[in-house]
Amino acid sequence: MSDDHGTKAALRTELLRVRRGLTPQERATAARSLADRVADLPEVRAAGTVAAYVSMGTEPGTRDLIDALRAAGTRVLLPVLMADNDLDWAEYEGSPALERTDRGLFEPTGARLGPDAVTRARVVLLPGLAVDGRGLRLGRGGGSYDRVLARLERAGERPSLMVLLYANEVVARVPREPHDHPVHLAVTPEGIHRFTP
């Protein structure tokens, strides 16, 4: 295991510990603020298609956001986790069209569009645990979104890459590994952080 890999694991453990300490009210307030901030971004207002995800547990909430985007006429793509941890995509058709999987995720029940469907999104929301001043994102370590970012790069697509976080998760340094890709924005309930990847 590399030093950076071990440092990432320790940072993940600490950030998840802090998230578990948030009250349901704090998480709900943060989700509403994130929805307002993200929906008001010029790149999101101009995007015909946004790739997002359904938050779970103590993640910064996305339900308000994806409902607001859909209500505004934006096409929202949501991931479907495949057996190999890669992501397929389906269009979000509202909360009734989500189902909980055996892995505990909420996924859309609509037609699968294929892993390359994400290349049609002009904004891609990425889950994460932290971001630093270089725009380096710390994910959960499963690699699903590393594959998405590599797929976008191979396709030559340059959507706005955005991570949703709590304020304490904008950190001084995220260890970098060769497969890591920087993001363009981090949105917290308190503000917008823009980076030049």
Domain 3-194 has CATH 1.10.940.10: no
According to the model, what pLDDT value does residue 1 have?
40
DSSP 103: T
According to the model, what pLDDT value does residue 55 have?
95
Write the burial class of residue 103 (CB in 10 Å: 0-12 exposed, 13-18 middle, 19+ buried).
exposed
Count CB-CB contacts under 10 A for residue 147: 17
Whole-angstrom distance, CA of residue 102 vs CA of residue 71: 29
Residue 182 in contact with residue 135, Cβ under 8 Å? yes
Which residues, given as ranges, of the chain have pLDDT below 50? 1-2
According to the model, what pLDDT value does residue 197 have?
60
Q: Hey, what are 15's tokens?
A: 């950030």
The pTM score is 0.91
According to the model, what pLDDT value does residue 118 have?
97
According to the model, what pLDDT value does residue 157 have?
76
According to the model, what pLDDT value does residue 2 have?
46
